[in-house]
Structure 1
């Protein structure tokens, strides 16, 4: 269908809608028209119709939602003279209008999502030079090593590819810190990382001071490199071999292209997925963003940099002085500045990296607080609505991304609003039960159908509400502080690669139990009032159902903060590669079944009857490289032996540190991410709304019971038992008079001194200023 026909359809719908909204139709007629619209929407959704039907669906949804707004604003707000009713009533309608506004922005963003074809394939002579930056702060060395080895093994001409470790954990500021223990730790980290980079053929780069966190670290990389394109991988984001071949070609076709962003895919569950046991079957939280929203943003030239798994053009970064460092979300801020200058971005939906998510609820909340505060900073300091150079569509897209993070305020208002009537008999929603059914229930049905139609394969019903609630309890205060003082937030590093040795309650659990207790008490009181007050039963029934929904959500949250143990700090990825195991000098063919940073699981048909004792037998594993250029060799210790269906399964633990070990893991586990992509696709299943709602209710009962059990029989861990979220140091190290002050660096974050260290190990005092 052509653009003019689509626009004509929307004009017709807008005309019909204007008549529908402004006419004083009765409640029965409104209800019948709403049911008819819902029936058409349900048919379109059930039959999964697209094309023109998508526009009809969205038009009908828009009509119902805006009709609800009209009714809600004109007929249900309490009398301003009754302040006790009016103030919470206005709070509630403000929360509703926020959600409806976000839904409208979401419909706009995702009106015509783009799916990009494969990148043009360039000959080796046509390929530009590429610098790969792996910024690091306090990550485990083995974690960083696998990412570096995979980056070094990317399918790209070696003379055009340079990999840098940007080590912010070994800066001069940290090495010469006043705390001798911290200083010694930083010096040891620098030495070990230098050794690692020398083994892998990677360039080590650090700097004098930890200014501007990740943005400053990346800018130091820019100042000490020359590649035409820059690739950024977080230290825990391991790329597939084809990453560059799937992205670089787009830059040759579009000279104003500054960014090609790819999805972030995670091989471990986040705390909600792990504690609720949903990782294997439910789409991850970020799937809606990377599977739908970024595709929608791409259609408006508004897909933005997500901090990792992306390729950027150096000349574009040079034009804006490097990576932006005013806010703590340097990625979105940088994209905003470049879009405002007329540069273009592009999104490739294919997952090309495998990363890690925060393992503990505490680290998860810390990460989301940083994201939310950074988006609040952008809204306050660089409001996209007033940003010159952006198109109207780009302004709306960035506004949608910024305002999304205001959800804690509306979510908490929805949680407490029923209590105003139940506990204090306040009339904050002036409507009869009949009005509620005709307007509110049809509006809720329209929203649920719309969400399921647009995002059902990527987000199960009610899961957004759960994720928002468990974050809101702590994010509300963090966002309020950023709103009041947008220059105050500091960059916090998210701890990953940790493990929990036993079941325990999160240290952040207490508020969730308090809220759950209040909601349960309110439910009991609702029943008591229902029995004692026959005249109020209709309203008590409606408000009581609302409160029960909130109670189920709060019960699910108890399961989220009841942390299941996860002894494995590294993730195993399935593989199907052949190799050879040398045991006591005897070569034995093996099939590699999975691999991780720590070791391998292999399957052997026969070991000539040799008795093997776990922990006592050493061996050598050999695996052909996927590029056909030789083999990887790594010493291993046999850690377990068992027989399954006539075959012997061996658990192998790496017994020495070396370049081949990390290169082997990078090549075997991460070189081909087809298995990871298949796992991701298998979780993209749309669910029936009614069945999903019933299952969520049962799920809530189960997790409430588990949460109460944890409260009685599981203790909260001490601070040393789990990794905490650590902020970058703010205490400046001694500097020379020639070194720029922090104020000067803020004005021009790109230009700060750095230290350039080549793969060879320099002697003491051999560091030279770049």
Structure 2
């Protein structure tokens, strides 16, 4: 299928199927399915060839995925225009069945989140097994599932971060699913906003209150049970209680990370910065200094001057990128001392000419530098990153002027 980003389609093929299919609220997946039903081929090229821009805020992220969910569901109501079940081969049909089932994944995730709470508060047990049985039967399956999940996707997707994603998405998706099951072609949200700016944090409580309630109820029942054991209300934990508490804690971990991810941090830069490190020469009015860039964008850079304890008594400098053979004029926005006497200088480019802009674009976007390579997180790395995100809670604790 075609997922919309970074693809090329023959104009003749597009014309042959009547252009982009616009009955659904998204057109990429639907148009590619229509092309497949009419005998065209889609080929996936496993190379990184372009850089895209993702959503900047939590609300935009959710709205984008809700639109995708609705568009992917709508395609099954377009049988006359996109005859999936009569024109595709059995492998392609199996993918369509899998895709349809996945549209209802939010329902399964909500059940997974609420089941241990119902069991803890109401005594309704979703499973009947002793702790040794859970360890013997379930644990090997779970560990194998985690490993295979990464291996089967060539480590494009992390099992644990996918758990977080589904936790973030499930409650808004459940509401959208209820709408589209009744009215598949109901009006959806508009295209995702890009390049927005924000001066302060946004906590998005209106989007995360179900997860916050889940956290509160989980903490309450675990606390009540622990206090009950200490006071002798319950003699001890039985084997099923240990499994239940582990399930509650695991769900609380996912929900906690989801709530932290919902805190939008200030977005003040007009251009994205990339971690490009390249040698540069800084020419001031009366001296020449040497350093390297810590990051670079189309409008500015962070430069580390390696000459110790040198003061810049001017606000304008010329920056020459030695390895790329061009120079730009820049204004010093701020500077600060670093370790070993080095100076960190934030620069804003000024009076950029067309050729200079072209050079910056070539440096940032056309070279296959390390940060553009696909990340391949292992399962253990992903899990440790999750724990770190909870412990540090940067989005909650960091302060911004």
Q: Same fold (TM over 0.5)?
A: yes
Query: Contact 1:385/1:399 (CA < 8 Å) preserved in 2?
Result: no
**How much has 1:490 moved relative to structure 2?**
2.8
Which residue does the alignment assign to 2:71?
Answer: 374
Q: Report if aligned partners of 2:201, 2:266 keep a CA contact under 8 Å in 1.
A: yes
**Quick check: 2:150–2:156 contact (8 Å CA) kept in 1?**
no
Which residue of 216, 224, 229 corresponds with 1:517?
216
1:451 to 149, 157, 166: 149
Note if 1:558 corresponds to 2:259. yes
Partner Cα distance (2:223, 2:311) in 1:
68
* Superposition deviation, residue 317 in structure 1: 0.2
How far 1:336 moved relative to its partner? 0.5
Assess if the C-alpha contact under 8 Å between 1:632 and 1:661 holds in 2.
Answer: yes
Change (3 A) 1:632 1:331: farther
Q: Which residue of 1 aligns with 2:203?
A: 505
Superposed, 1:605-624 pairs within 5 Å as: 612-614=313-315, 617=316, 619=318
Q: How far did residue 321 of structure 1 move?
A: 1.1
Rounded Cα–Cα distance in structure 2 between residues aligned with 1:377 and 1:490: 11
Conservation of the 8 A alpha-carbon contact between 1:457 and 1:686: yes
Q: Aligned-pair distance for 1:472? A: 1.3
Distance 1:700 1:623 in 2: 36
Query: Gapped runs of 5+ residues in structure 1?
Result: 1-303, 715-770
User: What's the RMSD between the two structures over aligned residues?
Assistant: 4.1
Q: Distance in 2 between matches of 1:520 and 1:603?
A: 47
Match of 2:376 among 667, 679, 684: 684
Residue equivalent to 2:391? 702
Computing the radius of gyration over CA atoms, which structure comes out larger, 1 or 2? 1
TM-score normalised by structure 1 residue count: 0.44
Tell me which of the two structures has the higher relative contact order, counting C-alpha pairs closer than 8 angstroms and 6 or more residues apart: 1
Match of 2:33 among 328, 331, 336: 336
Contact 1:466 1:556 in 2 (8 A): yes
Q: Output the CA distance in 1 between the equivalents of 2:330 and 2:75.
A: 50
Q: Relative to structure 1, is the Cα distance of residues 662 and 481 closer, same or farther in structure 2, using a 3 angstrom cutoff?
A: farther
- Asked whether the 8 Å contact 2:284–2:314 carries over to 1, the reply is no
Q: 1:462 aligns with which of 160, 168, 171?
A: 160
Distance 1:393 1:522, change over 3 A: same
Residues 252-267 of structure 1: pairs in structure 2 closer than 5 A = none
Quote the Cα distance in structure 1 between the aligned partners of 2:245 and 2:280.
63
Q: Quick check: 2:129–2:240 contact (8 Å CA) kept in 1?
A: no
Q: Which consecutive unaligned segments of at least 5 residues does structure 2 have?
A: none
Matched, 1:327 2:30: no
Give deviations 1:383-430, integer Å, cap 9, x for gaps: 988443211111222433443342211111111112222212224435
| Residue number among 306, 317, 331 corresponding to 1:637 in the alignment | 331
**Count of aligned pairs between the two proteins:** 393
Q: Is the 8 A contact 1:323 1:334 kept in 2?
A: yes
1:358 offset after TM fit, Å?
1.8
Structure-2 separation of matches of 1:505 and 1:666: 34
Q: Is the 8 A contact 2:282 2:320 kept in 1?
A: yes
- Do the aligned residues in 2 keep the contact of 1:380 with 1:483 (CA within 8 Å)? no
The answer to whether the 8 A contact 2:147-2:379 is kept is no
The Cα shift of 1:365 comes to 1.2
Alpha-carbon contact 1:456-1:686 (below 8 Å) kept:
no
Mapped to 2, the partners of 1:421 and 1:639 lie a distance apart of 58
